[in-house]
């Protein structure tokens, strides 16, 4: 694509093509797609972009490595169905996500259910469904024993381990130190001893160090330390380890200066890592669970300009969508310093970006900001504003009810 602008094209915008000045999603022009969807605002996901991402990833990863999709990144049913045909397993973190996973052709033993605070009802549903339960505490293990005993089914379990190290340079740390996730590594030997007297099918370990990491060395270190820890812990287990989930945390670039994750060194290391695991744990299948990396770049959020105004020298584009649909792009989903997501005028993609504007939503709060003083193509009322990198933690991670505006729509193209 060509952008007649001296601004460098953001890496994110290369996932989509442009024709006649208009962004294309799956060979449909954005203006036509808006008509097809029936109105703005909406999220659009491109199935070919998702497929291509997985194809590229698989071409470098060891063939024996299992790839799982973490549904919480994007739980749209059509997206989950599409991914189910491309990955080896689905990871869920609620009974609702479990139902979405069970609606696909994925066999129940390839669905794993993690998350702290699973209720008795959720444990019961999971046991009945035959999905794998990733246990996060000793109490949860004991509750599961009681529940599965009453039901008369043997549950399949994996122990989620809170590692004794942290993933460096991770956007969100989810392991190491004191955490609500997983069983502290040093307690696992006791738990394995208790487990030996329970009627459960122990499958192995799950270690998830963190999310949104763009640093290959840090991910390699986490894979090395996690697999070494699992091999040590497996020595104590009575049952043979058949599952080793090494987590994921692969990030995508959002902001100027973010460098796309270099997968090659991670894949190289995984080839060697899997050989070591194969020697120590010959029956184990090693898995990665990825959410954002698989779907994040395949999605855009589209909102229409409703009003344009100047206020004391600053130009505002006021749109029909905002923070309530896309909390992360507004900078209020875990960001410390607000930065602009990649944003463009979707029906003026080849027009010079020569107007400095702020894109805001309709909510009565200054937090409702999609772009802060960003150079964009000259936009008018009716134009379509696109937020890229919106395929993960967009729709389902936003406070849709805040201020009682209509929900966003979603479409997989």
Ligand X SMILES: *Cc1c(COP(=O)(O)O)cnc(C)c1O
* Residue of 365, 374, 375 whose CA lies nearest to 399: 365
Q: Rounded to the nearest whole angstrom, what is the least distance from the CB of residue 304 to ligand X in the complex? A: 29
CA distance 390 to 329: 8
Shortest distance (Å) from residue 374 CB to ligand X: 26
CA 231 distance to own-chain centroid = 27
Residue 316 near residue 388 (C-beta atoms within 8 A): no
> Residues binding ligand X: what is the number (CB under 6 A)?
18
Structure tokens at 153: 């089914």
| Residue closer to ligand X (CB basis): 23 or 290 | 290
Q: Which residues, numbered 198-217, are part of the site for ligand X (CB under 6 A)?
A: 208, 211-212
Give the residue, chosen from 72, 82, 110, 156, that forms a contact with ligand X under the rule CB under 6 A.
Answer: 72
- CB-nearer residue toward ligand X: 61 or 376: 61
Side-chain-side CA neighbours of residue 287 (13 Å):
29
Closest to 208 in 3D by CA, of 101, 68, 328:
68
Q: Which one among 75, 155, 291, 342 touches ligand X, defined by CB under 6 A? A: 291
What does the block give as tokens for 238? 């009575």
Using DSSP, state whether 77 is helix, strand or coil.
helix
Residue nearest to ligand X (CB): 291
Closest approach of Cβ 361 to ligand X, in Å?
Answer: 25
Question: Active-site residues: which are they?
Answer: 364
- Cα distances from 213 to residues 187, 273, 290, 347, in angstroms, run 27, 19, 12, 32
Q: Say what the alpha-carbon torsion angle 343, 345, 348, 351 is, to the nearest 10 degrees.
A: -60
Cβ of residue 352: shortest distance to ligand X, in angstroms? 35
Q: Position of tokens 């008369």?
A: 152
Ranges within 121-150 binding ligand X (CB under 6 A): none
Minimum CB–partner distance for residue 109 and ligand X (Å): 18
Given candidates 70, 137, 226, 330, which one binds ligand X under the rule CB under 6 A? 70
Is 398 a binding residue for ligand X by CB under 6 A? The answer is no
Considering only residues 229 to 258 of the shown chain, the ones binding ligand X according to CB under 6 A are 247-249
**Cβ 140 vs Cβ 119: under 8 Å:** no
Minimum CB distance to ligand X smaller for 141 or for 290? 290
Site for ligand X in 80-119 (CB under 6 A): 91, 93, 114
Applying CB under 6 A, the residues found at the interface with ligand X are 70, 72-73, 91, 93, 114, 208, 211-212, 247-249, 289-293, 392
């Amino acid at each position: 694509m060509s952008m007649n602008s001296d601004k460098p094209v953001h890496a994110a915008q290369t996932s989509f093509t442009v024709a006649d000045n208009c962004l294309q999603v799956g060979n449909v022009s954005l203006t036509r797609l808006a008509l097809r969807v029936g109105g703005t605002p909406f999220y659009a996901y491109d199935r070919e972009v998702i497929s291509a991402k997985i194809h590229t990833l698989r071409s470098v990863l060891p063939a024996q490595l299992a790839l799982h999709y973490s549904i919480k990144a994007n739980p749209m049913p059509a997206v989950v169905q599409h991914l189910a045909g491309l990955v080896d397993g689905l990871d869920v973190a609620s009974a609702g996500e479990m139902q979405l996973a069970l609606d696909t052709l994925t066999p129940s033993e390839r669905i794993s259910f993690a998350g702290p605070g699973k209720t008795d009802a959720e444990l019961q549903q999971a046991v009945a469904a035959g999905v794998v339960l990733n246990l996060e505490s000793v109490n949860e293990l004991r509750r599961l024993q009681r529940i599965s005993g009453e039901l008369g089914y043997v549950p399949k379990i994996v122990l989620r381990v809170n590692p004794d190290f942290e993933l460096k340079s991770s956007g969100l740390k989810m392991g190491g130190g004191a955490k609500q996730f997983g069983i502290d590594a040093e307690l696992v030997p006791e738990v394995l001893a208790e487990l030996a007297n329970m009627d459960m099918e122990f499958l192995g370990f799950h270690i998830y160090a963190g999310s949104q990491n763009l640093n290959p060395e840090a991910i390699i270190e986490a894979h090395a330390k996690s697999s070494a820890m699992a091999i040590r812990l497996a020595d104590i287990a009575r049952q043979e380890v058949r599952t080793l989930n090494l987590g994921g945390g692969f990030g995508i670039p959002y902001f100027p200066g973010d460098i796309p994750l270099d997968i090659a060194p991670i894949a190289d290391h995984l080839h060697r890592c899997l050989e070591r695991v194969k020697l120590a744990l010959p029956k184990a299948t090693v898995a990665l669970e990825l959410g954002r990396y698989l779907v994040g770049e395949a999605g855009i959020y589209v909102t229409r300009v409703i009003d344009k105004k100047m206020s004391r020298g600053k130009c505002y584009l006021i749109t029909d969508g905002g923070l309530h649909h896309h909390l992360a792009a507004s900078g209020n989903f875990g960001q410390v310093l607000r930065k602009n997501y990649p944003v463009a005028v979707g029906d003026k993609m080849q027009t010079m970006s020569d107007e400095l504007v702020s894109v805001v939503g309709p909510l009565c709060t200054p937090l409702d900001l999609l772009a802060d003083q960003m150079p964009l193509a000259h936009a008018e009322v009716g134009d379509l504003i696109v937020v890229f990198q919106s395929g993960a933690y967009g729709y389902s991670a936003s406070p849709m009810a805040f201020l009682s505006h209509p929900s966003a729509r979603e479409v997989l193209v």
